[in-house]
Copies of this chain bind each other. A is one copy, B any other.
Amino acid sequence: MKAEIIAVGTELLLGQIVNTNAQYLSQELAALGIDVYFQTVVGDNMDRLQEAIRTAQKRADVLIFTGGLGPTQDDLTKDALAAVLGRSLHLDRLAMDHVEQFFKDRSRPMTENNKRQALSIDGASPLPNSTGLAIGNALSEDGKHYILLPGPPKELMPMFEEQVKNWILQHVLTEEKPLYSRMLKFAGIGESALETELLDLIEGQSDPTLAPYAKESEVTVRVSTKALSVTEAEEKLDALEAQIRARLPENLYANEDVPIEKVIVDLLTEHHLTVAVAESCTGGLLMGNLTAIPGCATVFKGGIVCYSNDMKEKLLNVPHDLLEGEEAPGAVSKETAEVLAEQVRMVMDADFGLSVTGVAGPAYSERKPVGLVYIGLSERGKPTTTFQLNLKGNRETIRLRSAKSILYQLWRRLNERALV
């Protein structure tokens, strides 16, 4: 089964965005056992788009399109494929209701061009868009399969996960055994270190297969097996997971595709514990990620972004002579991280207090190097622990890694407790 991914969008050809959709879809298709032979990027141009479709028809069985489903004049994917297949477009009633409701709810007038987002190719299955307006399409003709997905990853990913996978299993991979996959999520370990740890398993693999999975600031492994029943699949996947867990008990934090924040919120809820956060260099990023998890309200008390030294003193009682003066350790120090974690825990009356203080760059501060970060973990009735990080990368990377590091330390602490 050969697939080609066709990304449609002039912004890709101008280099304004990176084609991350191609990577995501390639990984997903590989996991389904479908070989991607070509990835093509074409602009918002009717002739060249049709040309790309005809070229792909000659060399692939499954054509997956991303982008060009939006409301504007240069969103042409459905029109182009319909033209190539000699079909027409029609307005999908349900999708149209969804679009109209969207504008009604915002009491905004719906401009005419938005109807385009509810168009569907005749004979295609409409793929509802749970996170946006433009519907996708899926259809088969003459042994070729066509799947049209929206360009924004936050619309494309759920649509693929919730609908396209099943459609592929039902319409494309008909006589194959169904595929079962499981995501194993790791923290506190780098991708290459993980691969080294699991190298023999990766190389010796046949069934289940094991594939490291590249994700932003996360280390993930996907284990997959084809089986006749869920039970058979679960047994095989459990066995491999147990093997991996035995090697990396302090890093494997979940066996489903959830961020570590989710696992932390669940553990805190389960143990009726609360957390508060004091952030300096991460400036709210950590709390922003934590509060992205539904239900965090019961375990997250709140936090303080004490960006300036004044606020560290005023709101979190950091002693002045700790922050300033020739001999002072300064804001970016083990000592300050410790006080911040303890104080925010007390001010917010939480069971745990987390702190991050460091130099995110691009400029150094306190004559300390970019990437030097101290994180603190305070727990009611226990001595506070701090960790020094020496991070590489740009401001964004350093901030993200700092936030992930203290969350990892909290997870370890909660994990020990769970094991007790």
A266-318 residues with Cβ-Cβ distance < 8 A to B are 277, 279, 282-292, 294-297, 300-308, 310-311, 315
> Across the interface, do B307 and A106 meet the contact criterion of CB distance under 8 Å?
no
| Residue among A41, A212, A289, A310 having the largest count of chain B Cβ atoms under 10 Å | A41
Chain B residues, Cβ within 8 Å of A9: 213
Stretch from A22-30, A78-86, A137-145 at the B interface: A22-30
A285 to B288, CA, bound (A): 4
Cα–Cα, bound, A189→B9 (Å)? 22
A residues 120-149 in Cβ contact with B at 8 Å: 130-131
Q: Which residue of B lies closest to A7 (CB)?
A: B39
The residue on B at minimum CB distance from A73 is B202
Indicate whether A382 reaches chain B with its CB closer than 8 angstroms: no
Chain B residues contacting A349 (CB-CB under 8 Å) are 310
A196 within 8 A of B: yes
Q: Is the CB of B73 within 8 A of A195?
A: yes
Report chain B residues within 8 Å CB of A246. none
The segment from A11-19, A164-172, A234-242, A322-330 that touches chain B is A11-19
The distance in angstroms between the C-alpha atoms of A26 and B285, with both chains bound, is 31
Q: Are B203 and A73 in contact (CB under 8 A)?
A: yes
- Interface contact B282-A288, CB-CB below 8 Å: yes
- Over the window 19-58 of chain A, the binary record of Cβ atoms lying under 8 Å from chain B Cβ atoms (1 yes, 0 no) is 1101111111010000111111111010010011001000
Q: Is A102 an interface residue (CB 8 A)?
A: yes
Question: Which of A87-95, A335-343, A388-396, A406-414 lines the interface with chain B?
Answer: A388-396
Contact A59 B51, CB 8 Å, known A282-B288, A301-B308, A303-B284: yes
Inside 8 A of A308's CB, which chain B residues have their CB?
Answer: 297, 301-302
Would you call A18 and B17 a contact (CB within 8 A)?
no
Q: Does A61 contact B (CB under 8 A)?
A: no
Q: Are B213 and A10 in contact (CB under 8 A)?
A: yes
A419: interface (CB < 8 Å): no
User: By the criterion CB–CB under 8 Å, are A17 and B215 in contact?
Assistant: yes
Docked Cα-Cα span, A348 to B315, in Å, equals: 9
Contact A30-B15, Cβ < 8 Å, known A73-B195, A111-B193: yes
Q: In whole angstroms, how far apart are the Cα atoms of A111 and B199 in the complex? A: 12
Does A192 count as interface, using CB distance less than 8 angstroms? yes
Contact B192 A72 (CB under 8 A): yes
Question: Are A216 and B154 interface neighbours, CB within 8 A?
Answer: yes
**Alpha-carbon separation in the docked complex, A269 to B358 (Å):** 22
- A420 sits at the interface (CB 8 A): no
Residues of B within 8 A of A282 (CB): 288, 291
A208 near B: Cβ within 8 Å? no
Q: What CA separation (Å) do A181 and B10 show in the bound complex?
A: 14
Give the contacting residue for A213; candidates B16, B41, B191, B277; CB below 8 A: B16
- Could you tell me if B311 and A348 are in contact, using CB atoms closer than 8 angstroms? yes
Q: How far is the CA of A392 from the CA of B292 in the complex (A)?
A: 16
Tell me the complex Cα distance, A59–B48, Å.
Answer: 9
List, in ascending order, chain B residues with CB within 8 A of A52's CB.
38
Q: Please tell me if A226 contacts chain B, counting CB pairs below 8 Å.
A: no
Determine whether the beta carbon of A283 is less than 8 Å from that of B291: yes
Task: Please give the distance in Å from A296's CB to the nearest CB on chain B.
Answer: 8
Inter-chain contact A305/B307, CB cutoff 8 Å: no
Task: Report the separation of the CA atoms of residues A12 and B277 in the bound assembly, to the nearest whole angstrom.
Answer: 36
Expressed in whole angstroms, the minimum distance between the Cβ of A200 and any Cβ of chain B is: 12
CA distance A392 to B132 in the complex (A): 10
- Tell me if A114 is interfacial: C-beta within 8 Å of chain B: yes
Is A105's CB within 8 Å of the partner chain B?
Answer: yes
**3 closest Cβ pairs, A-B complex:** A283-B291, A284-B287, A15-B26
A12-B26, A277-B284, A282-B288 known; 9 new pairs, CB 8 Å cut-off, are: A12-B22, A14-B181, A15-B27, A37-B43, A39-B40, A40-B41, A71-B191, A105-B371, A283-B287
